Amino acid sequence: MNQYRAYCFDLDGTVYRGTEGIESAIRFIQELQHNNIDYFLVTNNSSKTPSQLQKALDKFGLDVPEERIYSSALATAKYVKQHYHDAKIHVIGSDGLFHAMKEEGFEINVEELNPEVVVMGIDRTIDYMKLSKAAVAVQNGAQLIGTNEDMKFPSEMGFLPGNGSFVRLVANVASVEPVFIGKPSPVMLQVIQDEYGYRKDEMVMIGDNYDTDILCGIRFGCDTIHVNTGVTSTDQVLKKELQPTYCVENLDDLILKIRAQN
């Protein structure tokens, strides 16, 4: 295994499943912390603020500074600011997305009647009327932007519908193709590279979901590590045309390599 300077981790299915931590990943990140190796948490979860994610990680025994947490909500807010800074915005989402949009200077009006942009992040209180209003707005010309296109995510109960399921529903009703910001888009990895100055060969993307985490790393141009702890099984990954750099059962397989390198 290469000696990387920046390890970028997915969260759901890689570091934890719902309210249950994945012990091998927790041990691996603690090993990186012990050896002063940089790591970042790159998540498509738009529901939580960096502070809320930090508190959730603390429950699993991980003390992670907020600046090491990159979410699709933060990347989406920056994208909307860059491309639609004067537009009327309608937002469907949770704390993480509302917080990120406000940080970029947007005034959130969930009752906006004639929005020019509809931004959708995961909303666990979503209902028929929210989806209907979004679909009508997009039919009337609003741009549809999703924080991420995850169709499902793992929990302690099993797989649950992800944000992509709801964005695709609205898009199908309005007969449009949405813009997605989160993984597999390489935007968040590009932000990390820009802010810290790593070369791509010094970075690695680690995740359980081939269609988001692994493709994100491949499209960015860095190495990738697939872990068999979440959405996509190793058997499924090995059938893909584009292969990750490494496939491991869990991150315990790599701890000894880190120790040998340091």
pLDDT of residue 197: 96
**156-173: pLDDT as tens digits:** 788 899 999 999 999 999
Question: What is the 3-state secondary structure of the chain?
Answer: CCCCCEEEECCECCCEECCEECHHHHHHHHHHHHCCCEEEEEECCCCCCHHHHHHHHHCCCCCCCHHHEEEHHHHHHHHHHHHHCCCCEEEECCHHHHHHHHHCCCCCCCCCCCCCEEEECCCCCCCHHHHHHHHHHHHCCCEEEECCCCCEEEECCEEEECHHHHHHHHHHHHCCCCEECCCCCCHHHHHHHHHHCCCHHHEEEEECCHHHHHHHHHHHCCEEEEECCCCCCHHHHCCCCCCCCEEECCCHHHHHHHHHHC
Query: What is the rounded (10 degree) CA torsion for 207, 212, 214, 218?
Result: -150
pLDDT confidence of 110, banded at 50, 70, 90? low
Provide mean pLDDT across the span 89-98.
Answer: 94
- The whole-model pTM stands at 0.82
- 127 known member of a binding site: no
**14-54: pLDDT as tens digits:** 999 888 999 999 999 999 999 999 999 999 989 999 999 99
Report how far residue 72's alpha carbon sits from residue 248's, in angstroms, rounded to the nearest whole number.
26
| Structure tokens that stand for 250 in this block | 């869990």
Is the pLDDT reported for residue 143 higher than 90? Answer: yes
- 183 known member of a binding site: yes
CATH fold group of domain 80-180: Rossmann fold (3.40.50)
pLDDT of residue 113: 72
Mean pLDDT rounded to a whole number for the chain? 92
- 208 known member of a binding site: yes
pLDDT of residue 74: 92
Catalytic residues: 10, 12
Intervals of CATH 3.40.50.1000 along the chain:
6-44+183-261, 80-180
- Residue 167's identity, in one-letter code, is V
Residue pair 223/217 in contact by the 8 Å Cβ criterion:
yes
CATH fold group of domain 6-44+183-261: Rossmann fold (3.40.50)
Residue with tokens 């496939």: 247
- Answer whether the bond into residue 65 is a cis peptide, omega within 30°: no
Closest CA to 199 of 209, 212, 190: 190
